[in-house]
Chain A
Amino acid sequence: MMLGALLMMPPAAKPSVDAFSREAAELRPLLRAVAASVLGVAPSHPDVDDAVGETMRRAIEGRERLRKGEPLRGWMVGIARHVALDAARTRTRALKRQAPPPASESSRDVNAADRVPDSKPSPFDRAARAEDAAELTRALDALPEKQREALLCFFVEGMSYVEIAGRLNVPMGTVATWILRGRRALAVTLEHRRNA
């Protein structure tokens, strides 16, 4: 009877498409910035619009994959990055198939092609390895205490800048500066490991 009751229960409520779309649409400017940055083109470039549209489509279709408690912003930035990288790779392959373009075009496209990462794993993939995590821990330990605390509050506990300022009892601008500097230091560490 209990099993029957369980079987008769409706499936768990899924986030409505409308609500999710509204929330995702607010991130459009950020996604546009990410796609333009990865593609190495102006934000008004048609490829950027295509990448943002594709990101929105994938996010809406795969919204059930967003884990509980996972911030939507980070999740969608990750999708935008993948979509833009795919677009950049497609463009690189197309360029290789074509005859060499005029000199001015060529230099611009070669620069764009250079931005496409090679087969080396991304910082995220590499950080999944234990030694990368250990390196990141060391880099984190090397930061001033308050900076480290602010970073952990933001990235690990998911607190906002204002909440962190309240907890650490410092002005919000100070928190923003600590996070900017600390994040830069950690990004440099990840970049060094990637190039090693």
Chain B
Amino acid sequence: MNSRLGRQESWDEGHASELALSCLADGQLDVVDADVRAHVDGCADCTLRMGELALESHAVGAAMAVMRAQAAPVRHRFPFAMTAVAAVLAVVCAIPGLIEGLPRLLPWIFAAPRLLPLLTASLVAVAHDFGASPLGRATSVASAAMLCLIGFALARASRADAARKA
């Protein structure tokens, strides 16, 4: 396969062709014959045309770089190493406190099976009373409305994001 422009492709009425100038403007010097390059160096007309093509190439290249950067997905990597270090540090720092507080914690741990049903029953009773009161009903309606609003906002945000990515 020929890796150079042919003479017919390189010349146009005694000057370098637009194709040859385009190759030079794109920095593809090796594909253009030396006599064409020498002509361009000494010809003001060809030099100016090459300059315009180089500016065009620069503008398009820069715009495509921006387009590519915008199209690239933003990746947020989970900081595994930092999290592991933090977890190890937390455990190491907690050891003295745990050893010291263990005798006081033990009665609570043993009492948990008895306390948990009692606590749950109390919470259910309070919730039942509160739900039946006017304030409880108003709170329920307000919470439902807030949930709807949050859902609406999320749907709009995801739509805008999808349009931006497209």
Chain A positions near chain B (C-beta within 8 angstroms): 29-30, 32-38, 42-44, 71, 73-74, 77-78, 81, 122-124, 127-128, 130, 132-134, 136-137, 140, 151-152, 154-156, 160-162, 165-166, 171-173, 176-177, 179-180, 183-184, 186-187, 190
Contact = CB atoms under 8 A, between A and B. Distances in A.
Q: Dominant SS at the B interface?
A: helix
A71 B70 CA distance: 20
Interface string B29-73: 011000000001100100110111011111111111111101100
A165 B27 contact: no
Contacts of A179: 22, 26
A35 B60 contact: no
Contact of B1 (A166, A176, A180): A166
Contacts of B47: 29, 32-33, 36, 43
A34 B55 CA distance: 7
5 contacts: A29-B40, A124-B63, A137-B71, A172-B1, A172-B2
Contacts, number: 143
A56 to B, nearest CB: 16
Q: Top 8 nearest A-B pairs by Cβ distance? A: A37-B51, A33-B51, A127-B63, A133-B67, A124-B62, A73-B27, A180-B22, A43-B47
Contact of B64 (A155, A165, A176): A155
Contact of A124 (B25, B40, B41, B59): B59
A34 B51 contact: yes
A43 B45 CA distance: 9
B164 interface: yes
A190 B60 contact: yes
Interface string B1-34: 1111110010000000011001111111011000
Contacts of A186: 60, 63-64
Contact of A173 (B2, B24, B25, B61): B2
A150 B5 CA distance: 17
A36 B22 CA distance: 17
B1 A171 contact: yes
B31 A77 contact: no
A99 B43 CA distance: 34
Contacts of A172: 1-5, 31
Contacts of B52: 37
